[in-house]
Amino acid sequence: MEAIEVIDTAVKVGLGALITGLTTYAITKANHKSEKSKEAVKKRAELLTYSLEKIETYFNAMNDLGGLINGLHELGYEAGAIPLEQINYFHETDDNLVKAAESRVIASSRLKLMGLKNIASLLEDTRKLEDELRHKSAFKSELISSEELMQIMGNIIAKRDEIYELLSNEFTALYE
């Protein structure tokens, strides 16, 4: 075998090894990127689910208080002082809402962490509705009127539905 043939064979083997190495590197890099992307989607889905659970806890607590007030109206109680026989149950339901407000704050911070500031802002806006619902009843022990209650609860439901719609869009976008 001549020196040229040896050099030619060595170059071919070297180029083959180089091409194989580069191909292996490119495939490994693409697989790693794909795995990283899958993990990011999984983590985002987990954070969205966790946030949604916290949001539901908060809205359920507001619905409980609204339902209690509505129930008192259905029993014939008019706007004004909360009936003494209902005051303890009323305060317990209101305390549950106060505790659930922590869930709103947690959900809001998770949403901001994911860059969903628009949803977090809507959720923070519900605080004003919570204050409207609790203002007379929790702070003054007064039963708000049916009309006030229906207006406030209508606004709460509208805000909840808007938040849920945006969250639904985020879940859908994860898997498109």
Tell me the average pLDDT across 53-64: 96
Long-range (24+ apart) CB contacts under 8 A made by 129-137 are 129/62, 129/155, 129/156, 129/159, 130/62, 130/97, 130/101, 133/62, 133/65, 133/66, 134/65, 134/94, 134/97, 137/65, 137/69, 137/82, 137/90, 137/94
Is the pLDDT higher at 175 or at 169? 169
Is the pLDDT higher at 16 or at 173? 173
pLDDT exceeds 70 at position 172: yes
Most confident of the ranges 9-13, 29-33, 125-129, 138-142: 125-129
**pLDDT tens digit string along 8-52?**
676 676 666 667 666 766 666 666 666 767 788 889 999 999 999
Q: What is the pLDDT of residue 123?
A: 95
**pLDDT tens digit string along 59-116?**
999 999 999 999 988 988 888 888 788 888 888 999 999 999 999 999 999 999 999 9
Q: What is the pLDDT of residue 110?
A: 95
Which fold does the domain 40-174 belong to in CATH? Four Helix Bundle (Hemerythrin (Met), subunit A) (1.20.120)
